[in-house]
Structure formats: C-alpha cells, structure tokens
Structure 1
Amino acid sequence: MFPIYDVIVVGAGHAGCEAAHAAAKMGSKVLLCTMNMNTIAQMSCNPAMGGVAKGQIVREIDALGGMSGIISDKSMIQFRMLNRSKGPAMWSPRSQNDRMLFAEEWRLALEQTPNVDFWQEMISGLLIKDNKAVGVRTGIGIEIQSKSVVLTNGTFLNGIIHIGEKQFGGGRTGEAAAKGITEQLVQLGFEAGRMKTGTPPRVDGRSLDYSKMEVQYGDENPEKFSFSDATSTLKNQRTCWITYTNKEVHNTLETGFDRSPMFNGRIQGLGPRYCPSIEDKINRFAERERHQIFVEPEGWNTVEMYINGFSTSLPEDVQYQALRKIPGFENAKMFRPGYAIEYDFFPPTQLKLSLETHLIENLFFAGQINGTTGYEEAASQGLMAGINASRKVHERDPFVLKRSDAYIGVLIDDLINKGTEEPYRMFTSRAEFRLLLRQDNADLRLTQMGHKIGLADDTRLEKMQDKKSDTAKLINDLKQKKLSPDIINEGLEGFETATIKEKVTVEKLLKRPQIGLTEIMDLDQDIKNYLSKYKKEVLEQAEIQIKYDSYIEKEQQMVEKLNNMEDYRIPIQFDYLTITALSAEGKQKLNKIKPETLGQASRISGVTPADLSILTVYLGR
C-alpha cells in the first residue's frame, strides 16, 4: 500500500508544512501525516505572521527557499513595518493574514510540490529498529516505513483544553489530542515535560462599535515578506483597531479567578512569559489601570474578529461579561470563548544542532514539541529539520546555521545549548549579531546557502547576486560623488543639520543622523537622477551599510570578546541582585543558576548580550 518513504513528517502545522516542502524540494520522497486534511497550516492562534524578531525569521525562511514568506504574502490583508523609528536592526515586518486563505495557500503549495504524499490519520507510535526511526504506526494499526521521521506535533501530544473549571482532551478546539507517542518516547529514555499556551475569544465584528476605538491602518507603502517575484505587494488593506481594558473589566475578570485553572493549580505547565493571559496581566501588573486590546480581522470577507491581548482560560460567562465592559464591546457577540491548552514537550537539550535526537538516529523534532511558541519559530525549525532529515537519508552532512548567520541559528543554538523552562520566543535581544541579522539583508546572508543545498532556485540566486553587486557599485559611487555647498546648504539648514564649507562626498553626508538618501535626493537634482536608476531595496541596503558600518565593526569586536569569556571566572558569592542595570529576568536566572564563568552565563536562557556586557564591567571593577 505504501512505498518506503525517505521522510515521514508527523503533523501539518507550520513546522510540518515547511519540513515536508523542504525535504521534497531537495529530492526526498515525503509523506505528510495529519489528523485532518482540512486543517493543514491552521493558524491556531492569531491570524498574523512576523513581528519583532519573528519577521526577520520569516524573511530568513524565504531567503533559504522556504514557503512561509510566500504564503504570508498571498494571504496578507495588512502590512506594517514595526519599529521604523528605531535603528534598522529593530525593523520588523508584520502581516495581518486571512486565516482561511493562509491554510488554503499552504495546502495548494504542498499539493503542487512533487514528492509529497498525504495521509489523514492520527499517528500513535514510531517504528524503531536498532535505535533508528524506521517508520510510524497509525491509530488503526497501519505501519508505514521510512528512512527518517520528523515529529512536529504542536500542542497535540496529550493536549488538554481548559475553560474555567471545564477541561477536556484536545490538541486544538474541536480536534482530538494525540496519544501514544509521548509514552513511547519516555519508555525509550526521553525526558518529557508540560507546557501551556492560550488563545483569546473570537467575536462577531458586526456587534462592535468601532467609533469607540482607535484605528490602526497598515503602512502607506506596504512591503512584503518574500524576496522572490512570486508575490506582489498589497493594493488594498483591511483596518485593525485598538481599544483598552479598564478597572471595571479587571474587577469582572477577578470574580472568576477562583475558577481559573491557572490560579487553582489545575494547569501545571509553564506558559509564555511574554504573551500572558489577561488574568495573568491584571494579577502581575495590578498597578496598571488598563491594558491594550487589538481588534484584528480574521480575513478579507469574514466578520470574525481576533481579540489580541485578551487571551484567557476563565469561565466563558466571566469572559463574556468582562468583554462587554471594554469600550466598543458593549453589545459584543462571542463566537467562541478563549481557552488554555496544556501539552507535552521534550526539552530540546536532547537534540543535536541538526534537530536530530541523540537517543534515536534519524528521528527529528521541530516546533512546539521542542518547547517553543510562535508560528515563525516553529516554521524555521520545521525547515531545518526537513532539510537535515533529507540530507541524512542521502548521506550528506548536516546543514547548521551559526548564531552569526541567522536568527534561526540563534534560535536553535539557544534551544540545544540552553534548553528552555518556558515556551521559547525569539527576541532581537537574544542575538549578539542583530545589526548584521537584519530583515532587509536575509537574502544576502542566506540565499547562496539555500541554493547550495538545493532549496533556493537559480532565479532566487541571480536576483540576490544582482542586489549584492548593485549595492556594492552604489556604495562605491557614493564614496566618489561630491556635493557642493552652494547647491545643498540651504537644504541642509532645512533639515536642521550643519552646513558645509567645501565639497563633501555623499557617503560622508549619509553618516549624519538627520540625512538619508531621500533627503539627499531633495538636495541635489543630479544625484536624484542618478539614484532613480536603482531599486528601492538597493538604495536601502547601501544607506544602511554606509550609515552603520562603524557600529557593525564594533559589534563584531564585541562578539569576539564574548567568545573569549569561557575562561573568565565569576566568584561563587557574586550577588547579581545588587546590579540594578541587569534585566529582571537576567538577575533571576543568574542568581538561580550561579554560573562559574561568563561563558556559562552567556548560555543561560534569558541572559541577554546587554546583561553580559554589564556583568563584565562589574567583574572588571
């Protein structure tokens, strides 16, 4: 009935889809197993992709030849580049997406990928022979053989959904939990744990009063995720809205705390620190009188709204009463309540950097099974697991990204070397090289690597090489082209920056914080005519490289110093709590683990590069 597959992928969420696509595109025969063909690539939580650090990951997946960027572009209903007021290391693309269209585009993409087969059924166990994964066993007892297996089970392993005092098995609302795999892996010697996550209620957009909310528009000139020409930018965008909780909302929520699974101890798993439930927010931040609520459309044509910022597992009647006290929600109709879900995960310190397990050869883990949270983190792991499962069965060396290569490299290195005690989420502060690992240069960093392993095609490589050579030529020209005082001084005064007494190069002028290429084009018509020959992405790349070259150099020097910290010992009695400049999480983790060296401190989850710099200064004293 079945051939022997090269790769079987268990689970068709963001990680599973990327794993199946990557392995198949690299020439492996792939079987993608899912409990429901109609929920492939389901956006289980918010209908959005990207965000701070996460947008960089989506661009990196795309640069390597993955599909998340293209699917996001095709299903996008709004685009915003976050943190534009900050430096380019912080610029982060984020899209609002059509939930149904996102899943449809992923399924179509997989169906059109040669070498991908599908099987709809729960997988209840693995076939193991001589400590090697050699296939899977389905719920009805079918055995399917393969040369490798990638587990991307998401929140389905022994998942339990909590709504107030009610609890029932499930991997997602309306879908059954997966049983059998955890028990088998524990018998094989794996360590397992429990984590939790949550989702907010969904409401009928027709029942909301948007006049009481703040409008949140998309960017005037929206961009896209993919570097390829497979997608185009948005012509029209849907609007989002912002409103706020208040003391009355908080008081209503508190009436249900005694029935909350989070407070009465029925949920044992740890939840994401940086995406707390609304009840957790008002408990931890009691001094705050209000919390922001984002009202986000679920798609182009649906009236369903996602209430971002109101994740909760309180009883449904409390959720409903509290919702109706939010401005604009006075007559809100609920489609379904929010809930918390508790599920099994396996501490990722049990994996190699290729995401293959130490205990069982040819068995790979990717996504929430590794203790991460977020579509983007899952998708990037799925991509890397799919790549490495395919390379393993074709007897090729693992493909591993270093911390200096990509946020994906930072993510996996953190998981493998530090582990995680709570759902891991990517932040820019986790990366030492964040000025190098920008969203705008992901193609320059990674497309050649993706092409070399057979994932990114020739067209992508040629496009990247053109961008690279055009940027180099432009930078060289800007070092030569000079501007005269008599032409630009009046304009410089208008930009509130010092005038010049003699000709200066464009490169030197770009070093000024008030001046960018847009301003320079306003200053000199000849320069404007010259620059108009270049694409927007080339102009942006040249400006960033010129403006921040000294900062990038300093960052590289800092990384070299960090690499030498392994022999820098920390006194055992050192009191981290007295260093006020350390982050709160940094203090907590350092005081608990008490690392012996700075090198060990650098691998503790939650201790940022900034914390290490501060610690170095204090130790030096």
Structure 2
Amino acid sequence: MLFKYDIIVVGAGHAGCEAAAAAANLGSRTLLITMDMNKIAQMSCNPAVGGIAKGQIVREIDALGGYMGLVTDQTAIQFRMLNRSKGPAMWSPRAQSDRARFIDAWRGILEHLPNLYIWQDTVNELIIRDGRVCGVRTEMDVTFEAGAVILTNGTFLNGLMHIGRTQIRGGRIAEPASQGISEQLMAAGMKVERMKTGTPVRIDGRSVHFDEMGEQPGENDFHKFSYMDTSRRVLKQLSCWTTFTNETTHEILREGLPDSPLYNGQIQSIGPRYCPSIETKIVTFADKTQHQLFLEPEGETTEEYYLNGFSSSLPLDIQLRALQSIPAFRDIHIYRPGYAIEYDFFDPTQLKHTLETKAIRNLFFAGQINGTTGYEEAGGQGIMAGINAHINCHGGDPFILGRDEAYIGVLIDDLVTKGVDEPYRMFTSRAEYRILLRQDDADMRLTEKAYQLGLAKTDRHELLTSKIEHRDALISFVENYSVKPQHLNSALEQAGTTPLARGCKLIDLVLRPQLTLPQLAEMVPALQAELDKLPETRKEEIVEAAEILLKYSGYIKREQVIAEKINRLENIRIKGKFDYNSIQSISIEARQKLSKIDPETIAQASRIPGISPSDINILLVLLGR
C-alpha cells in the first residue's frame, strides 16, 4: 500500500518530537515513524533537562512554540538555576524529570496535534529520485511518500553496545539497531563516520545509604522552562545526592582496563570529551584520589536512580565491585550496568543552515545523526528542521537564526561551518554574544519570529506583548523617579551600601550590585506601587527582566554594536560566486576548506577553521569591497 504525507519524521526522540510537532503546527500533514510508541521522547541517558547553555536552548525551543520546556515543567521533580553566583548571561535552568511521565506527557501532546499521525515501524530505506527524497520504505514493507523527510535516528544507525567484551547490536538497551539507511546514503556519496557515547549504571535506591551522602535539594522559586507555564510545580520535589569515589574504587577500575572496550581496541570511534567515562577519568586524571558522583532520582515514585559521573563500559563485575567500595553503596543492588554505544553519524558540513542535506534535496537531519549529544541540542535542531521542511514543501524563505539571535543559531552554524571531531555539546563559551542570549529573554528574541511564521500562537504572542509593556513601563519609572537621602539612608546602610550625599534618580541605586528592585521597593513606596501594578502570576519574571536590562544595559549595548558590525559581513553573500580552487592568492588549506563547505556569506567563511583574515580580505577584494 502507498500512503502520502507532506513530511515524514523518522525517529521519535527529542529531535523527532520537536520536528514533527513544528511541521504539524505549521500545517503540514506529518507522519512520525518510531520503533516503539512506548518510548517516545525517551530520556536515554540521565533524566534531566537543561544545564549550562543547554537550559538556554530549551528556553529558545519554548519561545519558538516547541514543547520541551512545557513537558519538563509538567514532569519536574527538581528544578535549579545554575550559575547564580555569576552574571545573568551565565544563569542556566536545569530540572530532573520523572522519566515515565516525560514520555507520557510528550505522547499525549503528539497524539492530540492536528495534522500529526504516528506509525510504529522501522525505516530501512529512503526513496530517492533525481537527487530528491520522495519517501521511505519500512521493515513491514510499507511505502510512505512525502515532500520532505527528516531523519532523527539518534544512536540507532548501526548501533552497537559494549559491556566489557560483550557486544550487543542495538540503538539502546533492549532495542534493535536500524540498518540500511547509512549504507544507502554512503552509496549516494555522503560521508558517514562513527561516534561513541555511554551511560551509567542504574541503581536500586533501597540499597543506598543516603545518610552517608551529601544532599542537593532543589529550588522552588518562580523560574520555569516555559514562558507559558506560571503554575506551581505539579510533582513532589526530590533531592539529588552526592558522594565520591576513592583510591580503592580506582584500583578496582584499573583492574578492568584490559577488558575495557575503550582501551582494548574494541571501540575505535570518537567519544565525548566533556562527559568522560569513569575509566577515562582515572586514566586521564591519574593523580586524583577521588571523583564526585551525583545520584539522581528517575521519578517521583520509582526507586530507580541514575549515577551521574559513573558512565562506564567496563565488565559488569568490575562496575559492581567498584561501586561497593564506596561507603554509601556498600550494599548496592543495580537494575543494569552502564554501557557504551557506537553509532553512525554524518559529517554536518554536508548540511545547509536549514539542516537540509546538500546532496539530496528535501532530506533533513537533526540530532545525534549530526554528531551532537544532548536532548536539548537535539530538540533545538529538531524544531528548526521541522520549520524548514515545512517551508520547503509549502514555500517561503528559509528560517535561519543568527549567532547573535539564539544558542540554536550558534549550534547549527558551528555544525555546518566547522563540523565535529567529537560529540558536540553546547557551552556558553561557544557563543560570542552570550550577554544577548540569556535564558531570561529568549521570548523577546524569538517569539515574534515564531509568531510571524505561524508557529507561536496568539496566546503566546499576547503574553509577550503584555510582558514587554509592563517591563518597559517599570524601566521608565526607575529611570525617571527621584529619591532623597533623608528617606533612604538608614535603609541603605542596613543593606550594606553607601548612603546618599544628595538626591538621585532611582536607577542610580538599581545599578549598585548590593541592591535589587524588590529590596528597593521596601524602601521606596512609589516603586512598590509600580510593582503592585504587575500581573501577579508574572510579576517576578517581569521584575527580573527589567532589572537585568537596567543593571547590564552598558554591556548589552556594547555587544549589540559588535554583533551589528559582524552582521554586515553576514549580508555579503558569496555562495556560487567563486571557484575557490582557481584562486591562487589564498592558501591551499583555504581553497580546500572553502570548496568543501561552500559558505553562504563572508562571515560564515571567516568562521571556518583554517581560514585566515588575509584569505577573507582577498575574497573581499575580489568582490570589489
């Protein structure tokens, strides 16, 4: 039988769910194909969303009209804002989620979206005609035709798991691998490589001595992931726990190194530098006598715990003995050991900024298939692929976010411009404009764009408009209201800041690092009256947004000026204008890399590793600039 859709999404992980939802919400008749409907949006590794820079991506997905933030808020069993001791550009939300409820919440959303259909099956072949993807064939021998296909296969393409010398074919524990697609695309000329990731042991909490561990409770303030969610946290809030390895632990781990797939030659592929296995830690940091571990709950009611920091592919007996050497785990029982997994990915320099492949029209990649790691990076790519696949099918300009507009823009530009030599993970340090890309203002940056696309709906847009009006009114009041020393000096001294010698504008006090708007409201009745005008459910969010703009306006304006200068180069388009191999005045490396990447603009060309400023100047001269 033959079935027709506008867009087919292969894989229902975090990239696939966001891609399918975005395409369907934009009006495309969309089919989401997954091996197992009970594993939709499965949190394959730790049951947490967000973290340094990753939390900003989730806020951006939400601001665009995606669902990861909403689902995380609904299923959170702990929430924390990381990096509070640093400036707001570094603040990063992170939440533990109930793994089972996370799946249920996502499935409930997808099953009730108009235009979205789900099929349980395995795709083993793409239908490609005249350099264009036209559909897929499945293991059940069903043919689906479509105007565009988005591959979000995660770790399933020729997935191979390792536990010591034991090897198991699969994309995730107890789930089969996917075969056929890599071989087909390799035959079509696309570059396929292998990567490796890993996951830790899962522990039975009933066997843990929690009284011998450090407790990490969550926070319960107004912060959430979704700008739409102002409700109280739904589930019981739980603590995470910390402990340390010791020298005995390390000795046991070293015993297992000859049988470690990472060190006996079994695994040849690239692993994540920033999330190393425990065996890598004891080899790389041989002088350290301990490593911190984090025990994280998997759900509100389950006894299953995730041991963050103990990712491993060592033999089962070694993992178990090493854990038992830690006092809090001396009576440990486990649900399953940690394991490593190797899988296929495609060099992302083979993609356009829309995430469409250069080699095959209307074929899009998103998630770990592009060499990234992390639910958040996958979700960010997924929503962008879903939007652009819809545009390819129905017309419109490509939707591309700049490096000064979103972490998602940084992520995609890094992938398609620089490629990857290890699993790509987002950090705040990767963003040159991180003062502009704060977690508090993702809605200000992106929701209007999503509304113009039709992805963000009217209720979201109205909330944004209301927030801007209230924020700007508060800022205007603070900038123009005058205060006098006799009314404030006693309170200022109590707050640990210098008393006033003369009257000043209220903003002069806001700029002092010791003072916040809520503190000043207790000293200045007129300011309290302004805060009382704010909508109660969003008051704290609006006050925080206003205070950040007031305190950091100088830094923000300076970074905006720099971004505007660089953006002039983004407007100089060079794609198709040069035969780079014939330009003898640039270096051989520049000729090779420019030919391979074929950058869209001068700015993108300048970000390719190995392209020097003199190479860029020569291109500008040839353009008559």
Identify whether the pair has TM-score above 0.5, normalized to the shorter chain.
yes
The equivalent residue for 1:522 is 522
Runs of 4+ in 1 over 6 A off after TM superposition: 563-566, 597-601
Cα deviation for residue 557 of structure 1 reads: 3.7
The equivalent residue for 2:157 is 157
Aligned length: 579
Between the aligned partners of 2:605 and 2:14, the Cα distance in structure 1 is 32
Between the aligned partners of 2:222 and 2:557, the Cα distance in structure 1 is 31
Q: Structure 2 regions of 5+ residues with no counterpart?
A: 571-585, 588-601, 613-625
The equivalent residue for 1:420 is 420
Give the aligned residue type for 2:402: K
Per-residue CA deviations over 1:251-282 (Å, capped at 9, x if unaligned) read 11111001000011211111111111111111
Cα deviation for residue 396 of structure 1 reads: 1.9
Between the aligned partners of 2:607 and 2:314, the Cα distance in structure 1 is 38
Between the aligned partners of 1:600 and 1:511, the Cα distance in structure 2 is 40
CA contact (8 A) 2:222 2:541 kept: no
The equivalent residue for 2:437 is 437
1:348 and 2:348 aligned: yes
Cα deviation for residue 236 of structure 1 reads: 3.8
Equivalent position SS for 1:146: strand
CA contact (8 A) 1:70 1:231 kept: no
1:544 and 2:548 aligned: yes
The equivalent residue for 1:227 is 227
Between the aligned partners of 1:391 and 1:557, the Cα distance in structure 2 is 32
The equivalent residue for 1:511 is 511
Per-residue CA deviations over 1:197-217 (Å, capped at 9, x if unaligned) read 000000100000001001100
Between the aligned partners of 2:71 and 2:527, the Cα distance in structure 1 is 38
1:78 and 2:82 aligned: no
Cα deviation for residue 563 of structure 1 reads: 6.6
Between the aligned partners of 2:398 and 2:470, the Cα distance in structure 1 is 33
Between the aligned partners of 2:338 and 2:327, the Cα distance in structure 1 is 19
| Pairing of 1:357-372 with structure 2 (within 5 A) | 357-372=357-372
CA contact (8 A) 2:76 2:98 kept: yes
Give the aligned residue type for 1:146: A
Between the aligned partners of 2:451 and 2:209, the Cα distance in structure 1 is 50
Per-residue CA deviations over 1:207-251 (Å, capped at 9, x if unaligned) read 000010011000142521111148543574111111111111111
CA RMSD across the alignment: 2.1
Cα deviation for residue 560 of structure 1 reads: 5.3
CA contact (8 A) 1:224 1:233 kept: no
Give the aligned residue type for 1:403: R
Between the aligned partners of 2:17 and 2:156, the Cα distance in structure 1 is 16
Equivalent position SS for 1:353: coil
Between the aligned partners of 1:546 and 1:459, the Cα distance in structure 2 is 28
1:403 and 2:403 aligned: yes
Q: Structure 1 regions of 5+ residues with no counterpart?
A: 567-571, 574-596, 608-621
Give the aligned residue type for 1:477: F
| Pairing of 1:464-479 with structure 2 (within 5 A) | 464-479=464-479
CA contact (8 A) 2:159 2:341 kept: yes
The equivalent residue for 1:611 is none
Equivalent position SS for 1:441: helix
Give the aligned residue type for 1:24: A
Instruction: Compare 548-557 and 384-393 and name the one that shifted more.
Output: 548-557
Give the aligned residue type for 2:146: S
Cα deviation for residue 327 of structure 1 reads: 2.9
The equivalent residue for 1:251 is 251
Give the aligned residue type for 1:537: E
CA contact (8 A) 2:156 2:171 kept: yes
CA contact (8 A) 2:77 2:300 kept: yes
Cα deviation for residue 498 of structure 1 reads: 1.6
Instruction: Compare 165-174 and 228-237 and name the one that shifted more.
Output: 228-237
CA contact (8 A) 2:203 2:306 kept: yes
Between the aligned partners of 2:4 and 2:554, the Cα distance in structure 1 is 54
Between the aligned partners of 1:188 and 1:435, the Cα distance in structure 2 is 42
- TM-score under structure 2 normalisation? 0.90
Q: CA 1:550 to 1:337, structure 2 compared with 1: closer, same or farther past 3 Å?
A: same
Give the aligned residue type for 2:558: K
Between the aligned partners of 1:27 and 1:133, the Cα distance in structure 2 is 20
| Pairing of 1:70-109 with structure 2 (within 5 A) | 70-109=70-109
Instruction: Compare 161-170 and 279-288 and name the one that shifted more.
Output: 279-288
Per-residue CA deviations over 1:489-534 (Å, capped at 9, x if unaligned) read 1222222222111111111111111111122123233422332322
Equivalent position SS for 2:477: helix
Between the aligned partners of 1:308 and 1:341, the Cα distance in structure 2 is 17
Q: CA 1:218 to 1:234, structure 2 compared with 1: closer, same or farther past 3 Å?
A: farther
The equivalent residue for 2:140 is 140
Between the aligned partners of 2:139 and 2:355, the Cα distance in structure 1 is 26
Q: CA 1:378 to 1:542, structure 2 compared with 1: closer, same or farther past 3 Å?
A: same
CA contact (8 A) 1:223 1:233 kept: no
Between the aligned partners of 1:439 and 1:44, the Cα distance in structure 2 is 25
